[in-house]
Amino acid sequence: MTYIPISPHERDEMLATVGVKSLDDLFTAIPAKHRFPKLNLPPAWTEMDALEELTNIANANENVHGDLISFLGAGMYHHYIPSVVDHMLRRGEFYTAYTPYQPEISQGTLQAVFEYQSLMAALTGMEVSNASHYDGATATAEAVNLAFAQYRGKRRKVVISPTVHPQYRAVIRTYTQGMDIQLVGDAADAELDSDPSDLLAHVDDNTCLVIVQYPDFFGRVYDYTKFIDDVHAKGALVCVVANPTALAMFKTPASMGADIVVGDGQPLGIPMWFGGPSVGFFTTRKQYVHKMAGRLVGETVDSKGQRSYVLTLTAREQHIKRERATSNICTNQGLIALGTAVYLSLLGKSGLRQVAELCYQKAHYAAKALSKINGYSLAHNEPFFHEFTLVCPKPVAEINAHLLEHGILGGYDLGQDYPSLANHMLVAVTEMNSKEEIDTLVEVLSEVDHG
Amino acid sequence: MNTPSNLKYAKSDEWFDPATGKVGISDYAQNQLSDIVFIEIFVEAGETVEAGKAIASVESVKASSEIYSPASGKVAAVNKDLANKPETINTDPFGDAWMIQLEGASAGDVMDAAAYEKHCEERAH
């Protein structure tokens, strides 16, 4: 079975229907001088010349595979990726596959998405997962759409913890502009050291959703069980933005009572790739499935009773909901979602747990050693996973410039997003950081102190 | 196509029974939507609805549609059983698949069965 393009005859029929004679007539609204502008391009190169030039440009990049030691996280993490992941992604059947609306020719892709959904549901503890979103930020914004739709616009307030990723909060604001939704809780002067329960002061009977992060943007791990109970008592839903690696080690958001669990799947076998593409996971409880954006693949049987897979629920999407669609995401990150599924299936339950424990142990070793340097200290005492806030004696930009000279990519400068956290560095440590690397960081920072 | 003559019909395919105050969707509508797999009724008993206002949403395997009230009045009852058996809308649109029941209702912009049948026929072409 192949996809068949239109014939010249069919094209002419379509043109006649819209009332034009030729394809050119369709574009008369565009001034002729803009239709085929002369491009200012250099003469054509040979393939050899082009390859040499591109190789030179590529070699100018410094990356974490041999050039730099990285302690940079803040939402995107350097983890080991088994080579099988890339080999699977490059298979033509997956690499070039388009939206699998036709189950007859898309069984492989559909099954892969089904496996991805099952794995994400297992990891978060939730009942259903959709086929994915662009990234963690868009998935979180879609959680707002779900909650808003669930209360049919009768509750118009969303409470966001100031310790949710700053970029996620920005994306939520972009998504919800014009929806007449009140976003509160993360004002510039919001208290960052307080207990999550302080957010309850913002929750009232006009609140449809409360969003918290787990571990939070500063890496801290809280048990939200009591908090979620208290929010539910006020009738609102709770969305937990989670790091999937941490879920292998800590209590699941589902067991704490979360209604929606979202996050970025990048830590699960996806390279950092200059910041993208990534994959956003979205999981929820069965009762909210009709309000969930995106699509869901289900398992069924065909007319011969054989196991098969179909796009089973696409309730909020354009082709079903038409102009009333609450989400215009009709493209999920199928290929990247497949990558996370391959990663998770390779590592298995105990392998992922091992990764999480390595991250945890190494980060704690680093935190202890760094906090002993003269002038440096840890900002928080709460339990943390693989990221922590280091208070520095001088601006983080200065320290990072110095670290870079030693081949080290320093931590995230928190002063960029939180004015009160100037001289605060968010340090991420994963299983990729050896003890020697951590010791080197400590050594170089000790020099900075003396210098 | 079944079009009981004792009912009134809205252009948007809902029926209204002036005798009982019940509201549902027509046989024509259920047939067009195909297999209905989900219904959510937005309004609750005690609320006042206005003709033309969305009261429910139904989803079939190929589309999702809003259901608009063909009459104004106070909601006396909501058919809660329908959520568990949305397929009833396909099998018994004028009977067990009523969606809400209004009291003291006044019909909005509705037509009689003959006019509605003509309306449906015209759309078929």
Sign of CA dihedral A130, A132, A134, A140: positive
pLDDT per residue rounded down to tens, chain A (451 residues): 456 778 889 999 999 999 999 988 989 999 988 888 889 998 999 999 999 999 999 999 999 998 999 999 999 999 999 999 999 999 988 888 777 778 888 899 999 999 999 999 999 999 999 999 999 999 999 999 999 999 988 999 999 999 999 999 999 999 999 999 999 999 988 888 878 899 999 999 999 999 999 999 999 999 999 999 999 999 999 999 999 999 999 999 999 999 999 999 999 999 998 888 999 999 999 999 988 888 899 999 999 999 999 988 766 665 666 666 666 565 678 899 999 999 999 999 999 999 999 999 999 999 999 999 999 999 999 999 999 999 999 999 999 999 999 999 999 999 999 999 999 999 999 999 999 999 999 999 998 655 4
Task: State how beta strands B14-16 and B8-10 pair.
Answer: antiparallel
The predicted pLDDT at position A325 comes to: 66
| A vs B: CB pairs below 8 A | 16
In this structure, the strands spanning B110-111 and B8-10 are antiparallel
Could you list the beta-strand ranges (E) of A68-164.
69-70, 128-129, 157-160
Subunit contact A321:B38, Cβ cutoff 8 A: no
pLDDT at A449: 52
The residues near A383 (Cβ < 8 Å, ≥ 6 apart) are: A220, A221
- Which residues of chain A make contact with B38, given a CB cutoff of 8 A? 290, 315
Taking an 8 Å cut-off on Cβ atoms, the answer to whether A315 and B38 are in contact is: yes
Q: Which pLDDT belongs to residue B6?
A: 95
Longest CA–CA span in chain A (Å) reads 79
* Beta strand A69-70 pairing with A408-409: parallel
A259/chain B closest Cα distance in angstroms: 19
Measured between CA atoms, the residue of chain B closest to residue A154 is: B42
A338, containing H or E segment: helix A334-371
Give the chain B residue nearest A312 (alpha carbons).
B61
Q: Could you tell me if A380 and A216 are in contact, meaning their C-beta atoms sit under 8 angstroms apart?
A: no
Please check whether residue A273 is in contact with residue A294, taking contact to mean a CB–CB distance below 8 angstroms.
no
C-alpha distances (whole Å) from B9 to each of A433, B107, B112 are 70, 9, 6
Contacts of B61 in chain A (CB under 8 A): none
**Cβ of A320 and B40 within 8 Å?**
no
Alpha helices in A8-106 (DSSP H): 8-18, 32-35, 47-59, 83-89, 92-95
Give the pLDDT mean for B39-66: 90
State pTM to two decimals: 0.86
**A286 contacts in B (CB within 8 Å)?**
none
For residue A2, the model assigns a pLDDT of 56
Distance CA B99, CA B93 (A): 10
Q: Which of A290, A321, A324 sits opposite B40 (nearest CB)?
A: A290
Kindly determine whether residue B42 and residue A315, on different chains, have CB atoms separated by under 8 Å: no
Rg (CA), chain A: 25
Q: Who among B42, B64, B66 is closest to A315 (CB)?
A: B64
Distance, in Å, from the CA atom of A186 to the CA atom of A202, rounded to the nearest integer, reads 10
Tokens of A445: 């920072």
- Quick count: other Cβ atoms within 10 Å of Cβ B3? 17
Q: What share of chain B is helix, strand, coil (3-state, %, to 5)?
A: 20, 40, 40
Angle subtended at Cα A181 by Cα A175 and Cα A186, rounded to the nearest 5 degrees: 80
Distance of residue A330 Cα from the nearest chain B Cα, in angstroms: 15
**CA dihedral sign of residues A211, A214, A215, A220:** positive
**Under an 8 A CB cutoff, do B59 and A315 touch?**
yes
B chain contacts of residue A320, beta-carbon cutoff 8 Å: 59, 62-64
Distance between CA A172 and CA A185 in Å, rounded? 13
Spatial distance between the Cα atoms of A308 and A402, rounded to a whole number of angstroms? 57
Partners of residue A290 in chain B, C-beta under 8 Å: 38, 40, 59
* Token pair for A107: 């069984």
If you search the block for the tokens 């997962």, which residue do you land on?
Answer: A129
Beta-carbon separation of A320 and B59 below 8 A: yes
Task: Report DSSP state, residue A90.
Answer: T
Residues of B in contact with A321 (CB under 8 A): 64
Residue of A nearest to B41 (CA): A152
The structure tokens 């007449």 sit at A180
Consecutive H or E run containing A352: helix A334-371
The partner residue sitting opposite B42, judged by closest CB among A152, A315, A322, is A152
Residue B86, classed as helix, strand or coil, is coil
